[in-house]
């Protein structure tokens, strides 16, 4: 069974800092399987029963957040100059090790998953998993039938990289929905670039069957649970 440090456990369980956890420990009411623990660096089995007096304490090993990424914010864990998506996470969700799952460009908006679970993040972004990322794009020109075909056949980017088949569906005169199952650098913009269209606005609408809730304003964050996590890996079957 994996071990966890007491100060980390208390910090995750109670939403307090590690130094606040040390103060809590000094009160002498914290026990692990009935034995009093006073030190923050004490390591114990995650399955052990931790109590504060008579109250059993539980903690979440990992957290899974869904953000409506606003424009102008970098999807990176840290940056010296520019605000990142991690910087704008509300205090109540903050913890060590949070990172955005995949990247959206600075000016792209919409659904972004943030977690501290590396395995989960890898599963979402791995090309093998082929999660379906759906984007809404506003373009500087009209979509022609031949572009839909080019997207569906798997286009070759200017760099020579070959894309997997993608869905392009016009949504208006100069707008479209695009579904891709991979995440190459600037992929959507580069795909439209091949057919000579510029992207004025890009917004991620969904991953798999997990959609961005319409009520979630730019910059807002909600915690998601097992059901929503599972939806990410559902296929809409239109690429088959």
Residues with active-site annotation: 105
HEC profile of the chain: CCEEEHHHHHHHHHCCCHHHHHHHHHCCCEEECCEECCCCCCEEECCCCEEECCEEECCCCCCEEEEEECCCCECCCCCCCCCECCCCCCHHHCCCCCEECCCCCCCCEEEEEEECCHHHHHHHHCCCCCCCEEEEEEECCCCCHHHHHHHHHCCECCCCCECCCCEEEEEECCEEEEEECCCCCCHHHHHHHHCCCCEEEEEEEEECCEECCCCCCCCCEEECCHHHHHHCCCCCCCCC
Residue 124 or residue 202: which is nearer to ligand URA going by CB? Answer: 202
- Check residue 186 for interaction with ligand URA (CB under 6 A): yes
- Residue nearer to ligand URA on the CB measure, 94 or 201: 201
Q: Which is nearer to ligand URA, 124 or 188 (CB)?
A: 188
Q: Is residue 155 involved in binding ligand URA (CB under 6 A)?
A: no
Scanning 89-97, 141-149, 185-193, 231-239 for contacts with ligand URA by CB under 6 A, the matching segment is 185-193
* Closer residue to ligand URA, CB minimum distance, 14 or 84: 84
Interface positions, 92-151, toward ligand URA (CB under 6 A): 104-105, 108
Among positions 195-224, residues that touch ligand URA (CB under 6 A) are 202
Contact positions vs ligand URA (CB under 6 A): 104-105, 108, 186-189, 202
């Amino acid at each position: 069974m994996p071990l966890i440090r007491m100060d980390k456990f208390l910090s995750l369980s109670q939403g307090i800092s590690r130094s606040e956890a040390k103060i809590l420990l000094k009160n002498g009411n914290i026990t692990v399987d009935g034995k009093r623990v006073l030190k923050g660096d004490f390591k114990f089995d995650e399955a052990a029963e931790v109590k504060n007096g008579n109250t059993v304490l539980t903690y979440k090993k990992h957290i899974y957040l869904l953000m409506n990424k606003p424009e102008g914010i970098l999807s990176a864990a840290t940056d010296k100059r520019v605000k990142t998506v991690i910087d704008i996470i509300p205090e109540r969700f903050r913890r060590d090790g949070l990172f955005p799952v995949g990247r959206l460009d600075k000016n792209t908006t919409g659904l972004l998953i943030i977690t501290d679970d590396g395995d989960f993040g890898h599963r979402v972004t791995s090309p093998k998993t082929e999660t379906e990322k759906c984007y809404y794009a506003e373009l500087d020109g009209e979509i022609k039938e031949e572009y839909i075909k080019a997207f569906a056949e798997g286009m070759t980017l200017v760099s020579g990289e070959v894309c997997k088949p993608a869905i392009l569906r016009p949504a208006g005169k100069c707008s479209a929905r695009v579904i891709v199952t991979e995440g190459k650098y600037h992929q959507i913009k580069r795909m439209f670039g091949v057919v000579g269209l510029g992207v004025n606005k890009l917004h991620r609408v969904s991953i798999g069957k997990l959609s961005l809730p319409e009520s979630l304003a730019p910059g807002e964050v909600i915690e998601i649970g097992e059901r929503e996590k599972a939806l990410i890996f559902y296929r809409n079957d239109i690429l088959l």
